[in-house]
């Protein structure tokens, strides 16, 4: 089956260039020009990967991403933005993004990142992981416990799956970064810490007794 990519980019020329490049690379592409279009189009029929501009005419792309996540979208999201500063990159990850590409960028790099995100999305749809106090459901991208279901973003899911696959063991930071982000993604230490903090909150939201502990200077362990 042909992998699909959604694009939300208000610049007509760039949107056309992205569509052409992705279609030449073998993707089925649907493109929108506004946040409202993206919400309508991609929440009803999610693509395998979503390329989402932050600076949209009618919305902030980060708000669009959060709204899509709230509607159950588990698709990996690659943010495009002209903003290069670390706080801007972190805000994209906090909004539920999985990768971040600053403009101007090389099309070859975008294609590699989209391909990597697509592979990661399919890899995370494997077997259900069970441990005391928690079931990690890859089909729903969610924590399930005692009748409660709490959804995770694709990156959150990959991080928690990496920990859940080795319960009681310290998983090093480098291994978590490798498991959760595409090769070449610029991910700072505080980004990883912020994601783990969000996963801890979601475990609490699910009333799960599972907990993530910090092995200071080394990594994290799920107990």
Same domain, yes or no: 182 and 204: yes
Same domain, yes or no: 109 and 9: yes
Q: What percent of the chain has pLDDT over 90?
A: 48
What's the token pair of residue 213? 């502990």
Residue that is last in its domain, among 101, 123, 145: 123
Query: What is d(CA 96, CA 106) in angstroms, rounded to the nearest whole number?
Result: 24
Per-residue pLDDT reduced to its tens digit, 143-178: 999 888 998 888 888 899 889 888 899 999 989 988
Per-residue pLDDT reduced to its tens digit, 18-57: 999 999 999 999 999 999 999 999 998 899 999 999 999 9
The pLDDT of residue 216 is above 80:
yes
pLDDT of residue 187: 75
Same domain, yes or no: 176 and 95: no
CATH number of 94's domain: 3.40.50.2300
CATH number of 168's domain: 1.10.10.10
Same domain, yes or no: 119 and 50: yes
Same domain, yes or no: 103 and 183: no
Same domain, yes or no: 16 and 108: yes
Which of 80-94, 103-117, 134-148, 205-219 is predicted least confidently? 80-94
pLDDT of residue 123: 56
What's the token pair of residue 65? 């991403």
Same domain, yes or no: 114 and 147: no
pLDDT of residue 124: 54
Q: What percent of the chain has pLDDT over 70?
A: 93
Residue that is last in its domain, among 70, 97, 123: 123
Q: How many domains does the chain have?
A: 2
Same domain, yes or no: 70 and 19: yes
Whether the Cβ atoms of residue 173 and residue 159 lie closer than 8 Å to each other: no
Whether the Cβ atoms of residue 219 and residue 172 lie closer than 8 Å to each other: yes
Average pLDDT for the chain = 87
pLDDT of residue 95: 82
Omega within 30 of 0 (cis) for the link into 152:
no
Band the pLDDT of 1: cuts 50, 70, 90: low
pLDDT of residue 55: 92
Same domain, yes or no: 97 and 140: no
Band the pLDDT of 183: cuts 50, 70, 90: low
Give the structural domain span for 199: 129-222
What's the token pair of residue 110? 């975008």
Same domain, yes or no: 103 and 142: no
Same domain, yes or no: 147 and 213: yes
The pLDDT of residue 197 is above 80:
yes
**Pairing mode of beta strands 219-222, 212-215:** antiparallel
Same domain, yes or no: 108 and 20: yes
Whether the Cβ atoms of residue 163 and residue 220 lie closer than 8 Å to each other: yes
**HEC secondary structure over the chain:** CCCEEEEECCCHHHHHHHHHHHHHCCCEEEEECCHHHHHHHHHHCCCCEEEEECECCCCEHHHHHHHHHHCCCCCCEEEEECCCCHHHHHHHHHCCCCEEEECCCCHHHHHHHHHHHHHHHHHCCCCCEEECCEEEECCCCEEEECCEEEECCHHHHHHHHHHHCCCCCCEEHHHHHHHHCCCCCCCCHHHHHHHHHHHHHHHHHCCCCCCEEEECCCEEEEC
Using DSSP, state whether 204 is helix, strand or coil.
helix
pLDDT of residue 127: 65
Mean pLDDT to the nearest integer, 187-212: 89
Query: What is d(CA 223, CA 217) in angstroms, rounded to the nearest whole number?
Result: 18
The pLDDT of residue 196 is above 80:
yes
Mean pLDDT to the nearest integer, 194-213: 93
pLDDT of residue 51: 97
Residue that is last in its domain, among 76, 107, 123: 123
Please list, residue by residue across 124-161, b when 16 or more beta carbons sit within 10 angstroms of its beta carbon and e when fewer do: beeeebebebbbbbbebbbbbbeeeebbbbbbbbbbbb
Backbone Cα Rg of the chain: 17
């Amino acid at each position: 089956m042909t992998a699909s990519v959604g694009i939300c980019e208000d610049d007509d020329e760039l949107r056309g260039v992205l569509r052409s490049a992705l279609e030449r690379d073998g993707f089925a592409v649907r493109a929108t020009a506004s946040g409202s279009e993206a919400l309508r189009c991609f929440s009803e029929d999610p693509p395998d990967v979503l390329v989402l501009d932050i600076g949209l005419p009618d919305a902030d792309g980060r708000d669009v991403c959060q709204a899509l996540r709230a509607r159950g979208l588990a698709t990996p999201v690659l943010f495009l933005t002209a903003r290069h500063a670390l706080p801007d990159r972190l805000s994209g990850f906090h909004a539920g993004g999985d990768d971040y590409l600053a403009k101007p960028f090389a099309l070859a790099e975008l294609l590699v990142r989209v391909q990597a995100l697509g592979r990661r999305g399919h890899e995370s749809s494997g077997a259900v992981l069970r441990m005391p106090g928690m079931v990690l459901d890859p089909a729903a991208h969610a924590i399930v416990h005692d009748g409660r279901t709490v959804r995770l973003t694709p990156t959150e899911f990959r991080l928690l799956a990496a920990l859940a696959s080795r319960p009681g063991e310290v998983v090093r930071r480098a291994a978590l970064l490798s498991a959760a982000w595409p090769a070449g993604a610029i991910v700072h230490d505080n980004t990883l810490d912020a994601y783990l903090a969000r996963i801890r909150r979601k475990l609490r939201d699910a009333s799960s007794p599972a907990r993530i502990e910090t092995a200071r200077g080394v990594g994290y362990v799920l107990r």
